[in-house]
Structure 1
Amino acid sequence: MGKSIKVQRKESILKEIIPEALSQMNDGRIRGLSVVDVVCSRDGSDAKVYLEKSYLNDKEQKASLKQLKQARGYIQNYCLKSTGWFKVPNLSFTFDDLLEQENKMEDLFNKISKK
C-alpha cells in the first residue's frame, strides 16, 4: 500500500522548507547543499533527507553530515515555526547515491547491448 496523502504532503512541505533553513545557516558548506528528496516514515515521526553530493568528496561529505547533525535542532525548529505544526519529524541526513547507481546500471546496459 502506498503512502498516505498526509505523509506525502508532509514530505513535500519539508522538501521546500529544509532548503530555506539550510540557506539561513552561517556555514557555507551547509548553505550550499541541495535537498534531493525527503522520505518520511509511515507515521511521519521520522524523515530522511537526501542531499546532492555532486561536488563533495568523501571527507567533505562526512564533515557536512557532522555539521548537519549539530544543526539538526535549528533546522527542526525552523521547520516547526515555518509550518505551524505541533511536532516536526526527527530529521536524519544522508547523501543521495541514486545518480551513481543509475550511471552504473546504464553502463552495464550499454555493455550488454554492445555484445
Structure 2
Amino acid sequence: MKSINLQRTESLLMELIPQALSQLADSRINSLPITGVNCKNGKYDAIVYFDGSDFNKEETKAVIQALNKANGRIKSDVLASTSWYKCPNFKFEADTTLEKSKHLEDLFAQIKKDKNKKSDEE
C-alpha cells in the first residue's frame, strides 16, 4: 500500500503534467489525456500513462519520443508550480487498460449474441 504522501504526489502530478503539456507547441502531445501516474522509488521516478487508444504502434512510438524530448520542459513547469527541490524522472507509457476493457466488452457482447442465437435455435 502506498503512503498518503506518495498518493498526494501522484495526484498533484496528474494535474500538473497536462497543464505543462498544454503549453507545448507539439499538437500530438499538448492535449494528450494523462490516465495515471505511478511514482516509484519515493519521488525519484514516475511512470506517466497516457491514453494511447487513438494511436497505432508507430504513432505511439512517435508520441513517446515527443514526450521524452519535452521531458525537461515538463519537469521545469512542475517544479515552477510546486515547492519541490527535485522533480521525478518521467517515463511515458501508453495506457492499454482502456483498450483491454474495450476488448473485454466486445467479448461479452459476442458471448451474449451467441447465447441469444443458441436459445433462438432451440
Q: Same fold (TM over 0.5)?
A: yes
Q: 1:22 deviation in Å?
A: 0.2
What secondary structure, in the 3-state scheme, does the structure 1 residue paired with 2:90 have?
Answer: strand
Q: 1:110 deviation in Å?
A: 4.7
For this pair of structures, how many residues does the alignment match? Answer: 114
What secondary structure, in the 3-state scheme, does the structure 2 residue paired with 1:47 have?
Answer: strand
Q: Moved runs in structure 1, 4+ residues, more than 6 A? A: none
TM-score normalised by L of structure 1: 0.88
Question: Quick one: percent identity of the two aligned structures?
Answer: 46
Query: In 1, distance between residues paired with 2:26 and 2:102?
Result: 31
Describe how 1:76-87 pairs up with structure 2 within 5 A.
76-87=75-86
Could you list the runs of 5+ residues in structure 1 that have no partner in the other structure?
Answer: none
What secondary structure, in the 3-state scheme, does the structure 1 residue paired with 2:32 have?
Answer: coil
Describe how 1:8-87 pairs up with structure 2 within 5 A.
8-87=7-86
**CA root-mean-square deviation:** 1.7
Whether the 8 Å CA contact 1:7–1:42 is kept in 2: the answer is no
Query: In 2, distance between residues paired with 1:30 and 1:108?
Result: 31
What secondary structure, in the 3-state scheme, does the structure 1 residue paired with 2:49 have?
Answer: strand
Q: 1:84 deviation in Å?
A: 1.5
Greater Rg over alpha carbons, structure: 2
Q: 1:61 deviation in Å?
A: 1.2
